[in-house]
């Protein structure tokens, strides 16, 4: 099965055709087509190509599904014997994308 490793938002993701993943917030409207040209590695099942730093003529095409949020993280701080407690939370913002096609060099 062909796959590629792409870089976006200072993070690396292993992608295959047809998968959905959450990437760091990306400026694109829902339904827009985007291309990722920072392909660090690509494999078609028999051959593996490693880029220096990227693979030439390799592109990953995707469709933006819209904004998404990660799971809620609870941050609880307590100082013992001081009657001091603080509880906060955090939800990371992401952009959900669907991988449509991997264009690998011949």
What is the rounded CA–CA span in Å between residue 64 and residue 30? Answer: 5
The mean per-residue pLDDT over the stretch 16-31 comes to 95
pLDDT at 12 over 80: yes
Strand ranges of the sheet holding 59-69, from the earlier edge strand across to the other edge: 20-24, 93-103, 59-69, 33-36
Instruction: List pLDDT tens digits, range 27-76.
Output: 999 999 999 999 999 999 899 999 999 999 999 999 999 999 999 999 99
Residue ranges covered by each domain of the chain? 3-66+97-103
What is residue 68's predicted lDDT score, i.e. its pLDDT?
96
User: What pLDDT shows up at residue 1?
Assistant: 87
The arithmetic mean of pLDDT across residues 2-6, rounded, is 96
């Amino acid at each position: 099965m062909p796959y590629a490793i792409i870089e976006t938002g200072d993070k690396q993701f292993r992608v295959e055709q047809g998968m959905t993943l959450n990437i760091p917030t990306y400026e694109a409207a829902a339904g827009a087509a985007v291309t990722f040209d920072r392909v660090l590695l690509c494999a078609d099942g028999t051959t593996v190509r490693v880029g220096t730093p990227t693979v030439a003529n390799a592109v990953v095409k995707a469709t933006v599904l819209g904004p998404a949020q990660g799971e809620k993280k609870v941050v609880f701080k307590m100082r013992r014997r001081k009657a001091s407690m603080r509880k906060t939370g955090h939800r990371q913002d992401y952009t959900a994308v669907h991988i449509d096609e991997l264009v690998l060099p011949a």
